[in-house]
Amino acid sequence: IHSFILSCAIRGLRGQGSQHCSMLIHVTRFNLVQEHVHRQVQDYVHGLKQRFRRCTDHLSVLAELKDLWEKDFVGTSLAIEAEVAEVSGHLGTTWQDIEVLLLDTLEEIDVRMINGKATDALDYADSATGLKVIAIGGDKLARGLTLEGLCTSYFLRASKMYDTLMQMGRWFGYRPGYLDLCRLYTTGDLVEWFEHIADAAEELRAEFDFMMESRLTPREYGLKVRSHPVLMVTSPLKMRTAKSHYLS
pLDDT < 50 regions, the chain? none
Burial of 2 (0-12, 13-18, 19+ CB in 10 A): middle
- d(Cα 122, Cα 184) in Å, to the nearest integer? 21
Residue 33 has a CB neighbour count (10 Å cut-off) of 13
| Residue 89 pLDDT | 55
Angle at CA of residue 125, ends 123 and 30, nearest 5°:
30
Q: What is the pLDDT of residues 222-234, one digit of tens each?
A: 888 999 988 998 8
Q: What is the pLDDT of residues 126-166, one digit of tens each?
A: 777 788 999 998 877 777 778 889 999 999 888 888 888 88
Q: List 185's β-bridge partners, or say none.
A: 154
Do the Cβ atoms of 147 and 26 come closer than 8 Å? no
- d(Cα 79, Cα 76) in Å, to the nearest integer? 5
| Residue 59 pLDDT | 92
Sheet holding 21-26, edge to edge: 109-114, 132-137, 21-26, 150-155, 183-185
Burial of 246 (0-12, 13-18, 19+ CB in 10 A): exposed
| Residue 99 pLDDT | 93
Instruction: Please give the radius of gyration of the chain, using alpha carbons only, rounded to the nearest integer.
Output: 21
| Residue 91 pLDDT | 62
Prediction pTM value: 0.85
Do the Cβ atoms of 41 and 25 come closer than 8 Å? yes
